[in-house]
Homo-oligomer: A and B are copies of this chain.
Amino acid sequence: MSKCEHCIVRQFNALKELTTEELERISKCKSTLSIKKGELIFSEGEHLKGIYCIKKGVCKISKMSENGKDQIIHLIQKGGLLGERSIINDEVTNLKATALQDMLVCFIPKEEILKDLHENNEFSLGILKGMANSLKNADNVIVNMAQKTVKQRLAETLLFLDTNFEKTEDNKLGLQLSREDIANMIGTATESAIRLLSNFKKKGVISLKGKEINILNTEKLKKIARGF
């Protein structure tokens, strides 16, 4: 099994603050899970026994709303951590994590993380910075959800997928989502999302081929996101 101290992925998260000794200790008790597309990493209300560090693949983090829709709150990819919040506050998870692609995920037991949080202040601060950043993003999402139209939010989401995820060789969006997932990201009915995608296509802003989306006119998409 590969070793944490040689794993490049930790550079993207707070684990980079750990010393070599700490990494070696964690390396010994971590396990690497292979998770197939569509499988659950954890579900809402679960009592997590550790945190997850994503080595490969993308997952969606969602929460069931009372009307039965599964709102996607964010997407997490290589280098992302899952479950720190539940561990820190010793609470059951409030969110569900589902693989959108085949994934490799490392599981680190709770006790090890808590030990390092208490003994390595730089690590605590690293986690803190990550969380401060997540909170800023969450605030932005709240404003967008509250104030923007569905059309604006779809445009923003496409731009988000464009800038934050790897593209295919022919420059299309690399992360392929179902129409339902897209709708659940922007908080609308699947039919509405489909209609707006067709609308964007008709305007020549994007092209569609099944789940493949190609952004043809980024500037126009930005204008739509701003409300024009």
Establish whether residues A73 and B131, one from each chain, have CB atoms under 8 Å apart when the complex forms. Answer: no
In contact, A132 and B187 (Cβ under 8 angstroms): no
> What is the 8 Å Cβ interface bit string for chain A, positions 38-73, against chain B (1 contact, 0 not)?
000000000000000000000000010111010101
Which residue among A63, A128, A134, A136 has the maximum number of chain B CB atoms within 10 Å of its CB?
A: A128
Of the candidates B91, B128, B146, the one whose C-beta lies within 8 Å of that of A127 is: B128
The answer to whether B145 touches A146, judged by C-beta atoms less than 8 angstroms apart, is: yes
Expressed in whole angstroms, the minimum distance between the Cβ of A66 and any Cβ of chain B is 6
The interface of chain A, by Cβ under 8 A from chain B, is 63, 65-67, 69, 71, 73, 84-85, 88-89, 91, 94-95, 117-119, 121, 124-125, 127-129, 131-136, 138-148, 186-187, 226-227
Task: Please give the count of copies of this chain that the complex contains.
Answer: 2
CB distance from A78 to the nearest CB of B (A): 21
Q: Is the CB of A89 within 8 A of B132?
A: yes
Which of B69, B131, B142 contacts A128, CB < 8 Å? B131
Closest B residue to A89 using CB positions: B132
Q: Which residues of B contact A131 (CB under 8 A)?
A: 128, 131-132, 135
Report chain B residues within 8 Å CB of A91. Answer: 136
Judge whether A227 and B129 touch: CB under 8 Å.
Answer: no
Tell me, in angstroms, the Cα distance from A144 to B69 when the chains sit together.
Answer: 11
Chain B residues whose CB sits within 8 angstroms of the CB of A95 once the complex forms: 139
Known A85-B135, A85-B136, A135-B85: A73·B128 in contact at CB below 8 Å: no
Q: Given the complex of chains A and B, what is the CA–CA distance between A145 and B150 in angstroms? A: 12
Q: List 16 A-B contacts (CB under 8 A).
A: A63-B139, A65-B144, A65-B146, A67-B147, A73-B139, A73-B143, A89-B136, A94-B140, A117-B128, A124-B124, A124-B125, A127-B128, A131-B131, A138-B142, A142-B142, A145-B187
